[in-house]
Amino acid sequence: MNNVNVNISQYMKNEYNINSAGNAGIMLEAKADSESDALSMLKSLATGDKVTASVLDIMGNEVTINVNNSAIKAALTGNMPVNIGDTITFEVNNDNEKQIVLKPLISGENSENLFAQKALDAAMLPVTEKNTEIVMQLVKNNMPVNKEALLEYSRLMAANPNASPETLVNLKKLEIPITPENITQFENYKNYEHSISAKIGNISEGFIALSQNSDGLEALKTMINLPETVSGEDIRTYIGDEQINELKNMVSDETIKESITKGITPKELLNVLLNSEKPETLVKSEAFKSVVKMFVREQLLINPADVSKDNEIKDFYTRILKQSGQMTEILKQSGQENTTAFKEITNVKDNVSFMNDLNHMLTYVQIPLKFANQNVHSDLYVFKNKGQKIDKDDVSALLHLDMDNLGKMDIYVKLLNGTNVTTNFCLENEEMLDFINEHMDILQNRLKELGYNLNATAKITGTEHDFVKDFVDEGRIEKEVMRYSFDIRA
């Protein structure tokens, strides 16, 4: 079998000779300081360890490969067949202290399965579909493949039989506790089912269902009056004169009727309706249902004008986390654990907790926005290089919007030197493209007033961002990527 020899002598205190162990391979010679991490990793490998390199580019006899997230230019030797895009796994032979030799593992469609089989045999685990997938996911994510790791994942899969290997490995990579709640949330994010704003309808229906029985009604009254609940805007922001008159007809107190006419918040009005003489009649009306939805909307959405305020988003989620925790406890004590309200509020609480854990490794926030006639789901990802803090004057981000009127769009933003802004709008269709282009000058003028120079482009694209592929897999994590190794002696 052909071998690859690695020249790392100029980066080590000891001198390493370069001796061919075969006629074909790749001769590595680092070109930049940024490659030192990869070379340090190669130095630390022991005999029997595995390392994977992907081929980024080929120019004649020169090949650029990716090792440990570092691009290294190397010279092809012999007749080793490689193509751009190939991912080659090597086994280390490091018996000679003056020499490092990498032997390519068997190539072809069965090579991954053969490698997985060897790893599982060494860990004394059965070669099942799930166990094999665990090995492949560990290799894909540059994580250790050894007996200890495989036994740990075997225990995790036994404890969480419905979790996919991909989910378990990624949660471990993100250093997020592997719990049923986090497994569910990771799957939700992966499948675009994580939107908090999308829960408004279900929670509203859950609250309405609670009001139909005496225990649920009392629980609803308590939840509405928690200190953390938001009173919200005047109900006239949401409904027209016809519904205003319907609400006035539901109450007999003239003072309350006057308040509805002059202005009353959803929280205030719900308290009036639920504490009336005959709430069981009022709660069945369409007007009551609309007030409940207004109330829930006020709790789970944030005004766009408030997003830029200091600590506003942090305070928003701190409130939601505390509020949802209190609500689930009230529902438990009222015997309402099997209700839609309990299920949906618990999901929101788990979502916010997961988002908080996620931010230990990625810079991400979900921003559920409140506009006059629609709810807007948005995701904000801020990209950063490994080991570096975010520079507010030189930063890249992705803003994903999901709007009722315009549909989905991804906006890639890059700020350079504190004032130069480059944006790339990725849209779903021609109609959206025309709309954005027609209004681009408004955005440009507003940014100019704020001291920014805008260079914007817009295009139609058939794909949207992928949470796992674009942010978990693409090295966006501020952490040294661990080498993966398979110790045959374990």
Q: What is the mean pLDDT of residues 158-185?
A: 95
Q: Are residues 403 and 330 in the same domain?
A: no
Quickly state the pLDDT bin for 279 (edges 50, 70, 90): confident
489 by DSSP, 3-state: which?
coil
Q: Is residue 156 part of a domain?
A: yes
CB 481 within 8 A of CB 387: no
Quote the CA–CA distance of 259 and 419 in Å, as a whole number: 48
Q: Are residues 123 and 164 in the same domain?
A: yes
By CB atoms closer than 10 A (0-12, 13-18, 19+), residue 103 is middle
Q: Are residues 208 and 267 in the same domain?
A: yes
Residue 18 pLDDT more than 50? no
- What pLDDT sits at residue 315? 93
Q: Is residue 40 part of a domain?
A: yes
Kindly report the number of other CB atoms within 10 A of residue 317's CB atom: 20
Q: Where is pLDDT greater, at 55 or 36?
A: 55
Residue 274 pLDDT more than 90? no
Residue 96 pLDDT more than 50? yes
Q: Are residues 76 and 130 in the same domain?
A: no
CB 471 within 8 A of CB 364: yes
Q: How many folded domains does the chain comprise?
A: 4
CA dihedral 314, 318, 321, 325 (to 10 degrees): 180
Q: Are residues 31 and 66 in the same domain?
A: yes
pLDDT tens figures, 235-265: 888 777 887 888 788 777 787 788 788 888 9
Q: Where is pLDDT greater, at 419 or 110?
A: 419
Residue 353 pLDDT more than 50? yes
Q: Where is pLDDT greater, at 73 or 482?
A: 73
108: CB partners within 8 A, 6+ apart: none
Quote the CA–CA distance of 261 and 404 in Å, as a whole number: 30
Q: Are residues 121 and 22 in the same domain?
A: no
The phi and psi torsions of 420 (rounded to 5 degrees) equal: -95, 120
Q: Is residue 394 part of a domain?
A: yes
- What pLDDT sits at residue 104? 56
Helix H or strand E segment including 370? strand 369-370
Residue 476 pLDDT more than 80? no
Quickly state the pLDDT bin for 64 (edges 50, 70, 90): confident
Q: Is residue 477 part of a domain?
A: no
Kindly report the number of other CB atoms within 10 A of residue 195's CB atom: 19
Q: Where is pLDDT greater, at 25 or 265?
A: 265
Q: Are residues 125 and 98 in the same domain?
A: no
Q: What is the CA radius of gyration of the chain?
A: 29
Residue 475 pLDDT more than 50? no
- What pLDDT sits at residue 490? 23
- What pLDDT sits at residue 363? 84
Residue 16 pLDDT more than 90? no
CA distances from 32 to 25, 29, 39, 385, 444 (A): 22, 10, 11, 17, 39
Q: Is residue 34 part of a domain?
A: yes
CB 415 within 8 A of CB 394: yes
Question: What is the extent of the structural domain holding 52?
Answer: 4-104
Quickly state the pLDDT bin for 112 (edges 50, 70, 90): low
Q: Is residue 362 part of a domain?
A: no
CB 147 within 8 A of CB 123: yes
Q: What is the mean pLDDT of residues 433-450?
A: 91
Residue 186 pLDDT more than 90? yes
Q: Is residue 278 part of a domain?
A: yes
CATH at 417: 3.30.750
Q: Are residues 134 and 119 in the same domain?
A: yes
pLDDT tens figures, 309-333: 888 999 999 999 999 999 999 999 9
Q: Is residue 182 part of a domain?
A: no
**What percent of the chain has pLDDT above 90?**
37
Residue 27 pLDDT more than 60? no
Q: For 145-191, give the DSSP string.
A: -SHHHHHHHHHHHHH-TTS-HHHHHHHHHTT----HHHHHHHHHHHT
By CB atoms closer than 10 A (0-12, 13-18, 19+), residue 270 is buried
Q: Are residues 419 and 293 in the same domain?
A: no
Quote the CA–CA distance of 413 and 33 in Å, as a whole number: 29
**What percent of the chain has pLDDT above 70?**
77
- What pLDDT sits at residue 81? 56
Quickly state the pLDDT bin for 91 (edges 50, 70, 90): low
- What pLDDT sits at residue 290? 87
Quickly state the pLDDT bin for 22 (edges 50, 70, 90): very low
